[in-house]
Amino acid sequence: MGRFILRRLGQGLLVVLGVSLVVFVAMRVFGDPAKVMLPLSATVEQRAEFEHLIGLDRPLPEQFVHFVKDLVTLDFGESLWQRRPAMEVVFERLPNTLMLIVSGLGFAILLALPLGAIAALRPGGIVDRVTVIGGLIGLSTPQFWLGLLLIMLFAVNLRILPTSGIGSWQHLVLPALTLALPSLARMTLLVRSQVIDELNQQYVKTARAKGMRFHTVLFGHALRNTLIPFITLAGWEVISALAGYTVVVESVFAWPGLGLTAIQAIQRNDLFLLQAIVFTVAIAIVLVNILLDIIYKFIDPRIKLA
């Protein structure tokens, strides 16, 4: 186990380096902060001057040496946009996104298992139909629209929750719910179909025939076998949320998370901040992947960690 984790960490490091390199090149080839950040009326000379001030007029190899030094010392320089260390911005915004992911996706993960399993007990029954229809609605509703709808209902009409912002648990409810619903729908439908499949397997019939009680079969075998694909999907939900999928929720609810910050950094061509964000997110994703592998092993001891 220890060796496995070490090896995966090593591989992860390569991934992080690769991703950072891509960002380094892409931002310098396609972006020009001097153009986007100065007022539209700035002259060509003023733009050139600004480029010189922020050091982007130096040869690419020289900038690359700086960049590698930054990576090694974990110092990503000063954000052009925020005028403070880029890592400071990242560490300020990351907890907000994590809070959103843990509460929103945590809620979805905890609810999807029982919901899907209950629906699967009687395929075609009333509970099942409600679940499937609800799931399809959840899957096909644009998150942006869903967020505004929840704001209209709970904040404008009922006035029981704030429309946007951060600061108290009340502020967290609507964004977390908006983030949770599409994931909840996806995961519930997956659990449902997996459990239905499992319950139709021969081994379930055998177990039942030899007198094993139904809920032992359900919890001990069918659900347990469902857990592997379920965790794969749940992991994917977490990873895509980390990789910026939360941005829609964050902008609708003015939630100061990392996804929103990344978009703003891209709009402003703030390459130093973006490098710091991508680096951090890449590390987080590598860690989540390692965690997932360990959980697999825990659920199904036959899986070899290689």
Partner 1 sequence: MRMLKGLLTGAVLLASVALPMNAFAAGDIVVAIGSEPSTLDPQARDDGGERAVNDNIYETLMARTADGTLVPGLAAAEPTKIDDNTWEFKLREGISFTNGEPFNADAVVASVERILDPALKSEQLAYFGGITGAKKVDDLTVQITTDGPDPILPSRMYWMKMVPPVYSKDPKFGEAPVGTGPYKLEAFNRGQDIVLVANADYWGGAPAIDKVTYRFVGESGTRLSGLVAGEFDVITNLLPEFVESVPKSATVQGLETSLIVLSTDNEVTKDPKVREAMNIAIDRQALADSLFAGYGLPARGQIVNPKAFGFNEALEPYPYDPEKAKQLIEEAGAKGKTINLVGESGRWLKDRELIEAVGQYWAEAGLNVNYQIEEFGQYLTLLFDQQNRPDAVFVVNSDELLDADRPMTQGYLAGSGFSSNSDMDMKAKVEAARTETDVAKRKALYDEVTQAAYDGNYLAPLLNAQDIYGVSERLEWQPRVDAKLIVKEMKVTE
Is the Cβ of residue 92 or residue 293 nearer to partner 1 in the bound state?
92
Amino acid letter, 60: L
**What number of other Cβ atoms are within 10 A of residue 22's Cβ?**
11
Question: With CB under 8 A, what is the number of residues at the site for partner 1?
Answer: 51
Interaction of residue 173 with partner 1, rule CB under 8 A: yes
Is the Cβ of residue 6 or residue 53 nearer to partner 1 in the bound state?
53
Site mask for partner 1 (CB under 8 A), range 128-167, x = bound:
--------------------x--xx--xx-xxxxxxxxxx
Q: Where would I find the H helices in the chain?
A: 2-30, 33-37, 44-53, 60-73, 86-121, 126-140, 143-150, 169-199, 202-209, 214-217, 223-240, 247-252, 258-267, 271-299
Interaction of residue 31 with partner 1, rule CB under 8 A: yes
3-state SS class at 78 = strand
Which class for 86: exposed (0-12), middle (13-18), buried (19 or more C-beta within 10 A)?
Answer: buried
Greatest alpha-carbon span in the chain: 86
Q: For residues 256-285, which are near partner 1 according to CB under 8 A?
A: 256, 260, 264, 267, 269
Is the Cβ of residue 13 or residue 25 nearer to partner 1 in the bound state?
25
Question: Which among 8-16, 77-85, 134-142, 275-283 is the span making contact with partner 1, rule CB under 8 A?
Answer: 77-85
Is the Cβ of residue 93 or residue 186 nearer to partner 1 in the bound state?
93
Paired tokens of 96 = 């907000």
Smallest separation, CB 202 to partner 1 (Å): 33
CA–CA distance, 194 with 207 (Å, rounded to integer): 18
- The site for partner 1 (CB under 8 A) is made up of 30-32, 35-44, 46, 49-50, 53-54, 81-84, 92-93, 96, 148, 151-152, 155-156, 158-167, 170, 173, 251-254, 256, 260, 264, 267, 269
